[in-house]
Amino acid sequence: MTITMPQLGETVTEGTVAQWLKKPGDAVEKYEAFVEVSTDKVNAEVPSPVSGVLREIICKEGETVATGAPIAIIDEAGVVPEPPAETSPAAPAAVPATVSASNGSSNGSHGGNGVATTSGLRRFSPAVRRLAREHNVDVAAVSGSGTNGRVTARDVLAAANEGPSAAMAATLAREPAKATVAPATAQPAAAASTYAAPTPGTIVPLTQARKIIAKRMVESLAIAPHAWTMVEVDVTKLWRWRAQEKDAFLASKGYPLTLLPFFIHAVVQALKGQPMLNARFTDDGIHVLGAYNIGIAIGLETNLIVPVIRDADTLSIGGIAVAAGKLIEKARAGKLGADELGGGTFTVNNTGANGSILSKPIINGGQAGIVTMEAVVKRPVVVDDAIAIRSMMNVCLSLDHRVLDGTIANAFLADLKKRLEAMRPGGDL
């Protein structure tokens, strides 16, 4: 069938093909985004109305055509290709998901109720559109429980809960850690611009992973009021203990013994004392979580990924070291599975690995807090009214202030500090 330039907005009369997401010959699933169109109002990915194969691209990237003009031809799966002459310029420039091939029912219900209109268009409320976007739900595939079959906000949330919410996480995992080099050539500028060219620079295209990270960071900061607090921890003895054990550990277990497993072990113990930090905010109440699944933030060259050590409360320090070592190895190889990325209840961020001594982390969405371990640095500190040189580490905590207040947060940090400072040579690995 011939695909036409959709009308993206009531007053929009033309659109520009920003980018083809499929090449001729590529298979296209129904509802799959196959082209990105931009207008002076919006940029939108256009879903395919049918399953099939993209036969021909009529409108090249950067080309602007009137709405309703043909932009591509898709051979429908199992359908004899239609002759191109049949294209009707008056065909409704619909959001393709509702092209009548799939939807013969136009029962005349329409108007403000925003369900199926006579033209076959389905309309969605602002809340439905936002929630669908946030939860990566294809609204066209959701069955509506509202008046006249309208898709309600609750329907979208229900679909999001059923559907593989790991879909996004999996996308993250698939994107390997390879270095992406920005193309040296600038994007072709819009031909008609008459003003002076801007200072030359490059635009690094957004990878899917980058888009997801951006979205999640914005969401977390927008939804959860972040409060921040910090303690300094004397890890002199812990540092010595680790130094004594690390070579033997690497030799016997095959994974390095960093400070991270000691820290995670202490965090889990401290979380047990303050369950409000191992919790999530819901409108029905604060959901205190039963498991201790600790996410570890791993910075790769172009992206950030947070695999999860499940049931960390059942692991020893050595067990955590092995589990973390495996996850880090897989993350660097781009081989993490969706099951290794979801279900985290609290997050640890080893910001000190890159030399940071102070950071203000953003909470991993849906959790109550995130704690960082900053770089261990030797500093003069006062011990028993004498100045001593100690190995000091700052520990920073961002907390969701809807879930808990500073009292609990600081009790948690005090306990964590106590536990870390009590770790010394001769302890149980």
The DSSP symbol for 8 reads -
Which of these, 264, 291, 284, 286, lies nearest to 370 by C-alpha position?
264
Nearest residue (CB) to other proteins, 134 versus 232: 134
Q: Please, what is the minimum distance in Å from the beta carbon of residue 409 to other proteins?
A: 23
CB of 119 to other proteins, least distance (A): 20
Q: Binding-site residue total for other proteins (CB under 8 A)? A: 15
Give the relative orientation of helices 126-135 and 153-162 as an angle to the nearest 10 degrees. Answer: 10
User: Residue 423's closest CA among 387, 378, 391, 375?
Assistant: 391
Helix pair angle (259-273, 236-253), 10° resolution: 120
Residue 150 as a binder of other proteins (CB under 8 A): the answer is yes
Contact window for other proteins (CB under 8 A) among 28-36, 126-134, 343-351, 363-371:
126-134
Among the residue ranges 146-154, 197-205, 243-251, 406-414, the one whose residues contact other proteins (CB under 8 A): 146-154
Tell me how far apart the alpha carbons of residues 106 and 122 are, in angstroms, rounded to a whole number.
Answer: 10
Of the pair 150, 237, the CB lying nearest other proteins is at 150
Residue 149 in contact with other proteins, rule: CB under 8 A: no
CA distances from 260 to 182, 257, 266, 330 (A): 33, 8, 10, 17
Query: Between residue 271 and residue 310, which ones bind other proteins under the rule CB under 8 A?
Result: 283
Q: Which is nearer to other proteins, 19 or 148 (CB)?
A: 148
Cα(128)–Cα(57) distance, integer angstroms:
32
Task: Kindly indicate which of the ranges 147-155, 295-303, 349-357, 381-389 contains the residues binding other proteins, using the contact rule CB under 8 A.
Answer: 147-155
Please choose, from the candidates 24, 51, 57, 19, the residue with its C-alpha nearest in 3D space to the C-alpha of residue 38: 19
Q: Closer to other proteins by CB, 283 or 384: give it.
A: 283
Q: Residue 279, by phi and psi: left (phi above 0), alpha (psi -120 to 50) or beta?
A: beta
What are 251's two structure tokens? 């030799």
Which one among 9, 62, 70, 146 touches other proteins, defined by CB under 8 A?
146
Return the residue of 27, 66, 77, 127 that touches other proteins, per CB under 8 A.
127
Q: Looking at beta carbons only, is 109 or 171 nearer to other proteins?
A: 109
Per CB under 8 A, 147 contacts other proteins:
yes
- Two tokens, residue 41: 């109002």
DSSP letter, residue 313: G
What is the end-to-end Cα distance of the chain in Å, rounded? 65
Please identify every residue annotated as catalytic: 401, 405
163 contacts other proteins (rule: CB under 8 A) = no
Residue 248 interacts with other proteins (CB under 8 A)?
A: no
Strand-pair partners of 64: 16
Instruction: Kindly state the greatest CA–CA separation across the chain.
Output: 92
> Residues 129, 226, 240, 332: which binds other proteins (CB under 8 A)?
129
Tell which one of 18, 21, 33, 153 touches other proteins (CB under 8 A).
Answer: 153
Residues 6 or more apart from 189 whose CB is under 8 A from it? Answer: 197
Q: Which is nearer to other proteins, 122 or 390 (CB)?
A: 122
96-125 positions binding other proteins, by CB under 8 A: 112-113, 125
Contact stretch for other proteins (CB under 8 A) within 59-67, 151-159, 335-343, 368-376: 151-159
Binding site for other proteins (CB under 8 A): 112-113, 125-130, 146-147, 150, 152-154, 283
